[in-house]
Amino acid sequence: MAIAFGDEDDADGTALAEINTTPLVDVMLVLLIIFLITIPVINTTVALRLPRQANELRQSSPQTVVISVDANGASYWFDALLPDRQSLQDKLYRIAMQTPQPEVHIRGDARADFEAVARVLYACQRAGIARIGFVTEPPAGR
C-alpha cells in the first residue's frame, strides 16, 4: 500500500524541500537590536569615591629585605648599590633558602621606569620569594 501525492507533472501536490529562513532572520535581527541597546546599560558602573590609600602601616622586622630602585633604574640592596642583575639574583636565591623566608620590600622611585621595578619583581619571582611588598608614602594632607 502506497500513498499517492498526485501526478509527477502536478506541482501543487509535491512536498516542499526548502526551509523558510525569513522568520529566523527576523528573530535574529530583533535579538541583535535588543543586545545593542542593553550592552551600554550593563557596562555602566556605580559612581564611587574610592579611598586614596589602601596600604597598611607595618613595622619592618629585622628579617625584612629592602630593595630600592632609584630614578635612573639602579638597584640597591638595603643601601648598597648592586653592580648588575646577577648579583641581585644571587642574593635573592640565598634568602629564598632561609627558613622562615624573609619578606622583601621594594622601594621604587616615582620617577623610575616601571621596567626597572618590574625587573626586581621578576627576579624575586624567579628566586621563589613568597612575600613581596611595595613601600609607598601616604598622600599629602594626611
Average pLDDT across the chain, whole number: 79
Does this model's pTM top 0.75?
A: no
Q: What is the mean pLDDT of residues 23-44?
A: 81
d(CA 10, CA 61): 97
Domain-embedded: residue 107: yes
Q: What is the mean pLDDT of residues 30-44?
A: 77
Domain-embedded: residue 40: no
* Total of domains in the chain: 1
Specify the range with the lowest mean pLDDT, choosing from 6-10, 12-16, 97-101, 135-139.
6-10
Domain-embedded: residue 51: no
- Give the pLDDT confidence score for residue 92 in this predicted structure: 94
The CATH number of the domain holding residue 124 is 3.30.420.270
Domain-embedded: residue 28: no
Coil vs helix vs strand at 56: coil
120 burial (CB, 10 Å; 0-12 / 13-18 / 19+) is buried
Domain-embedded: residue 71: yes
Measured in degrees and rounded to the nearest 5, phi and psi for residue 118 equal: -65, -35
Domain-embedded: residue 30: no
132-134 and 104-108: which strand pairing?
A: parallel
- Give the pLDDT confidence score for residue 55 in this predicted structure: 55
d(CA 66, CA 105): 5
Type of residue numbered 118: A
Of the pLDDT bands very low, low, confident and very high (cuts 50, 70, 90), residue 37 is confident
pLDDT digits (tens, 9 = 90+) for 66-112: 898 888 888 999 888 899 999 999 999 999 998 889 999 888 888 88
Domain-embedded: residue 96: yes
Instruction: Domain of residue 122: give its range.
Output: 65-134
Cβ(74)–Cβ(88) below 8 Å: no
Domain-embedded: residue 10: no
